């Protein structure tokens, strides 16, 4: 097995693990945030607008973690700097 194949396999595995872990954490966080927001709305229905606005800002912050993991996995798959270096060394 040559170095390019090995780097490709490791990159694909790492990208998969990154997405798996990076999706589970934010999903659990979003579920808990929504549950707490619904409980707060049930206790204080007059503050629904404020709670909802704050909820959406919090959900956006939580979702950014998953997006960062997605970006890292795409870099590993499609713009991996290690592949360029190995190919350059093999060619020259």
Q: What is the pLDDT of residue 92?
A: 55
Q: What is the pLDDT of residue 17?
A: 94
Q: What is the pLDDT of residue 43?
A: 96
DSSP 4-60: HHHHHHHHHHHHHHHHHHHHHHHHHHHHHHHHHHHHHHHH-GGGHHHHHHHHHHHHH
d(Cα 32, Cα 62) in Å, to the nearest integer?
Answer: 11
Each residue's pLDDT expressed in tens, for the chain with a length of 92 residues: 788 788 889 989 999 999 999 999 999 999 999 999 999 999 999 999 999 999 999 999 999 999 999 999 999 888 888 877 877 877 75
Q: What is the pLDDT of residue 52?
A: 95
> What's the whole-model pTM score?
0.75
Q: What is the CATH number of domain 3-86?
A: 1.20.20.10
C-alpha distances out from residue 71 to 6, 10, 22, 34, 45, Å: 22, 17, 11, 25, 39
């Amino acid at each position: 097995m040559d170095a390019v194949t090995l780097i490709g396999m490791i990159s694909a595995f790492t990208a998969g693990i990154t997405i798996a872990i990076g999706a589970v954490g934010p999903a659990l966080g979003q579920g808990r945030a929504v549950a707490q927001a619904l409980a707060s709305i049930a206790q204080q229905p007059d503050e629904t607008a404020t709670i909802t606005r704050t909820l959406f800002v919090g959900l956006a912050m939580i979702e950014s973690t998953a997006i960062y993991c997605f970006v890292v996995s795409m870099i590993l798959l499609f713009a991996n700097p290690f592949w360029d270096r190995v190919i350059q060394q093999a060619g020259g």
